[in-house]
Every structure is written in C-alpha cells, then in structure tokens.
Amino acid sequence: MAILNILRYPDPRLHKVAKPVTVFDERLEKLVADMAETMYDAPGVGLAASQVDVHEQVVVIDITEEKNALVAYINPEILWASDDKQVYDEGCLSVPGIYDGVERPSKIKVRAYDVKGQPFEVDADGLLAVCIQHEMDHLKGKVFVEYLSPLKRNRIKAKLQKEERGMEREAALRAQGRRY
C-alpha cells in the first residue's frame, strides 16, 4: 500500500469528470487500498479517486471513530434523495483547514459496486449521507467550495494559493540546504 498525493484546490484536475469503472481486478483493489491508507493518514472520513488524480468512479468512506468500517463505493449512483435538506459543516482533504456549511438532502439511497464487482445498496442519513454526496461531487468534478458564495470561494482560493507558494518556497530553500 502507498500514501497517494492529494490534489489541492484550486488544482484544475479536481474538475475532471470521472469515468465509470469497467474492470474489477487487482489494480482496482490496490487503488482502493492505497486510497484508504491515504484517507486514514490525512486524516479524513472520505476520499474520491479524483482527489488523487485517478479519474475513475471510486470512493472510499469510513465515518467510524475506530476507523474499522471502510466501504468502497464503485460507480455510485443516487437512486433517491429526500426533499428535506440539512446543512452540515463540510471540510475536504483537497481544501485543508476550510470548513463551511453546505445544504444537501438529509437522506439518500445509493447503489454502487464493491471491489469485486458485486452490487449493493445503502440507505444513508446524517454524516454518511453528507459524505457520500460530497465524494460523489468529486467524481463529477465539483468541490464543496463551489456551493459557497463567489466571495467566500475567492477568499479560500487566494488563501490556499498563498499557502502553496509558501510551501514551494520552503521546499526550494530546503533543496538549497538553507533553513527557513
């Protein structure tokens, strides 16, 4: 297993639409294992393949405190969403340190496949429903900050770009053997 590099907003690769998985093989199992390790290491409760620059419809989620209930959702699709909505403060491994309220359906029914290609359905509410919808947005090339006002979104983009420049500067200084 390996820790994968998580793309950071506003990286344009986060806006690529993921393609359905057509082959359920060892490569897919390794991708899911690597994504799980990456998600737990980050730490997070969900990760879409799009966030690690693999544009296939693969999501891993584990909302438990113990981190022992990993579920892989391959080619997930929402079959039903409730009319009632709720606002959750969402965060994202691709938008580190940023949290804001996003309104989504409070309950959903999802159909997906496991890593062996077996179909399954899940009725979800609460954090699980939010997490599934959030990760599925990534597969469509959408990041949660796009639900926010243009002003908030632009502030977040500027903040993350400034942080990125700072990290690049530190890496360059380190490469030169200088302290920062």
Q: Is 138 annotated as a binding residue?
A: yes
Please name the residues in contact with 117: beta carbons below 8 A apart, sequence gap of 6 or more: 24, 74
Does the N-terminal peptide bond of residue 12 adopt cis geometry, omega within 30 degrees of 0?
no
Q: Is 55 annotated as a binding residue?
A: no
The token pair that represents 138 in the structure block = 């990534």
Q: Is 92 annotated as a binding residue?
A: yes
Q: Is 135 a catalytic residue?
A: yes
Catalytic entry in 56, 135, 163, 164: 135
Q: Which residue's entry shows tokens 């309950």?
A: 107
Are 105 and 81 spatial neighbours (Cβ–Cβ below 8 Å)? yes
Q: How far apart are CA 171 and CA 178, in angstroms?
A: 10
Angle at 96 between CA 95 and CA 102, to 5 degrees: 55
Q: Which of 53, 60, 59 is nearest to 16 (CA)?
A: 53
Annotated binding residues for Fe cation:
92, 134, 138
Active site residues: 135
Annotated binding residues:
92, 134, 138
